[in-house]
Amino acid sequence: QVQLVESGGGLVQPGGSLRLSCAASGIIFSITTLRWYRQAPGKEREFVATISSGGNTNYADSVKGRFTISRDNAKNTVYLQMNSLKPEDTAVYYCNAPWVSTNYWGQGTQVTVSS
């Protein structure tokens, strides 16, 4: 019964900030790698950021320096802090966690960056 539930999406102006959250259940959160992906209309789903159980992070070049992934193991939640947002960041953002050989996905949360 693995569940990942994203929240925090919405409409934001260019240059603005937004923080996404993903609450997980059904996994041992503290030992899992966690990732964020996004998918814009008509485009393939792309990797955004990842954080290991030890807190090591990696980012797509397109978001490096603007986005920060973090985790709160006590809350079973992974976050994506998005700053200096651009219209090209508009997409549905998905939380992802590998667990027992399977990649699990949340339902996604819409982020729209527009004036």
pLDDT tens-digit profile of 41-80? 999 999 999 999 999 999 999 999 999 999 999 999 999 9
pLDDT tens-digit profile of 71-111? 999 999 999 999 999 999 999 999 999 999 999 999 999 99
89: buried, middle or exposed (CB in 10 Å: 19+, 13-18, 0-12)?
Answer: buried
d(CA 12, CA 23): 22
Please report the pLDDT score of residue 14 as a whole number. Answer: 98
On whether the CB atoms of residues 34 and 95 are closer than 8 A, the answer is: yes
Please report the pLDDT score of residue 46 as a whole number. Answer: 98
